[in-house]
Amino acid sequence: MKTICHFIRSRSEIFLVLFLLSNLISFALFHSDKKKAEKHAFRIPESNLLGFSALFGALGGILGMIICHHKTKKPKFLILMPLMAAIQIALIIMIFTIG
């Protein structure tokens, strides 16, 4: 575990860029799905929204839910999104604090 943490820490700039990109894409998916819902167009499956959020994009997904008012009444999203965000934040803290 220390080896993985050291590897990520030694490339922290790359990790940060990937983390931000993942959250931006997650936000964009929620925004896009909301627009498609308003136009009654083909939608992005919920499994894709949750799956991409699980790949270190939960904060972007939560922002998408709040800003776009999307999936805010779905219990699955209300439970899983904050849970994923908490796990991701805990992992990031653990990676950057393990000696």
Predicted confidence (pLDDT) per residue in 17-75, tens digit: 999 999 999 999 999 999 999 999 999 999 999 999 999 999 999 999 999 999 999 99
Total number of domains in the chain: 1
Instruction: Indicate the DSSP class of residue 41.
Output: -
Instruction: List the domain range (segments joined by +) for residue 82.
Output: 2-97
pLDDT of residue 37: 96
Predicted confidence (pLDDT) per residue in 78-94, tens digit: 999 999 999 999 999 98
Distance CA 31, CA 72 (A): 13
Distance CA 6, CA 74 (A): 38
